[in-house]
Chains A and B, each alone.
Chain A
Amino acid sequence: MNAILEIEALSKSYGSVEALKSLSLKLEEGKIYGLLGRNGAGKTTLLNLITSRLYAGSGSIRLFGQPGVDNQKALERICCMPEKNLFPPAMRVREILRHAASFYPSFDRDYAEALCQRFSLNPQLKYKALSRGYESILRVVIGLSSHSDLTIFDEPVLGLDAAGRDLFYRTLIADYSEKPRTFIISTHLIDESADIFEDAIILKEGSLIAMDSVENLRKRSIVLSGRKDRLEELVSRYRLAVLSRDDIGRLSAMTVAAPLPADCLAELREKEIDLAPVSLQKLFIHLTEPSVGSFERQVS
């Protein structure tokens, strides 16, 4: 598959704070990527570097196979809807959309109008009159209608209620199905968006700690629950890496690295230990835990 974005050893510091530490990654054309990370992990910095809104201290960015920094031709093929847009407060939604249409070469004005209707966004309203939720809707309308080869949403559903978020996910899938292209979606709402993503990119403190299909990421760990004494015995005998554990009375639930050895799996039923998969959100919490590994030390 074609690489749409290739990043090599990208670093960015703000004074003494390292926002990105020698980050490398490669995105393939035509996928929906989830960009996940705790606050301050470097997500927004990364997006700003991709779109030349910021410049890196070192490293390289290639867009569509070309050098990416300040490459106007390549940047025209990207629509990035940041968390905060700086549209003129007195400008009406209709005018903002007209500007967007002149800015993005593949912008579909009819579709933008249809989306305004679908999300009940009144095009006559001035930007400053929009609530947080409607501001998000405007970004969604521009991002989807741009039909750009690479569309980036930073927290697209901020301030949207559950119905609005559901409508966004559905609209995104329908539009993506019809016109497959690449999306990067940065979000904190992992549980509700995990099924939308094909791959997830997980950042922690400025570094890439995991990037794989959501399906594969979910296979990396598993929750075992049952009698604490039996679990502890099993975990130490098979030297399982315990990512986290919760104890209550004689019972314990341990998240352990997967896959488990076949012999271990075979013992579970007899020991009355239940096995359940881990959601992407739980995996994310384990992976980005600042103190990850402390439980492993306790057990081993």
Chain B
Amino acid sequence: MMQLQLDADRSIYLQIAEQIEDQILRQDLLEDEQVPSTNQMAALYRINPATAAKGIALLVDEGILYKQRGIGMFVSAGAHKQILVKRKKDFFTRYVEPMLQEAKNLSIDPEEINAYIRSRNGAGNS
């Protein structure tokens, strides 16, 4: 499902870019498929169209979207893989580091976390 709420704590245009990426990642938007227009995004999220355009421009710069003159924006071939690589790189700083910080506050031993992850994986495989 597409997330329809924006977070007041972060740049709106970055969130617009992330939400399009999320859709590509979950294959809700396929490669060579047209993405919603700036105006549609602006209406959906109740934001200034220039902000939505900035989010989309960011993805064009990164090569995730491409522009077809007079028609609109499309998902580039290889976009899915590109986002996957980028997000994997972010995964540790964005998710694991805060978790380790909280674990430290709670005096949870790293070995305890390892054991938990191993047991989860074990359950998943059986």
Binding site for B on A (CB under 8 A): 31-32, 166, 169-170, 173-174, 176-178, 180, 191, 195-198, 214-215, 218, 269, 272, 276-277, 279
Distance of A181 from chain B, by nearest CB (Å)? 12
Q: Evaluate contact between B12 and A177: CB separation under 8 angstroms.
A: no
Q: Evaluate contact between A32 and B48: CB separation under 8 angstroms.
A: yes
Q: Evaluate contact between A176 and B49: CB separation under 8 angstroms.
A: yes
Which A residues are in CB contact (< 8 Å) with B12?
Answer: 195, 215
- Say whether B10 faces chain A, with CB atoms less than 8 Å apart: yes
Which A residues are in CB contact (< 8 Å) with B9?
Answer: 276-277
Chain B residue nearest to A218 in the complex (CB): B11
Q: Evaluate contact between A215 and B49: CB separation under 8 angstroms.
A: no
Which B residues are in CB contact (< 8 Å) with A195?
Answer: 6, 12, 45-48, 51
Which B residues are in CB contact (< 8 Å) with A197?
Answer: 48
Question: Which listed residue, B11, B13, B38, B101, touches A269 by the CB 8 Å rule?
Answer: B101
Q: Evaluate contact between B39 and A198: CB separation under 8 angstroms.
A: no
Cα A166 to Cα B43 in complex, Å, equals 11
Interface positions of B from 11 to 35, Cβ below 8 Å from A? 11-13
Chain B residue nearest to A30 in the complex (CB): B50
* 11 new A-B contacts at CB < 8 Å, known A214-B48, A269-B101: A32-B48, A173-B42, A178-B39, A191-B8, A196-B46, A215-B11, A215-B54, A269-B97, A272-B101, A277-B10, A277-B11
Distance of B114 from chain A, by nearest CB (Å)? 22
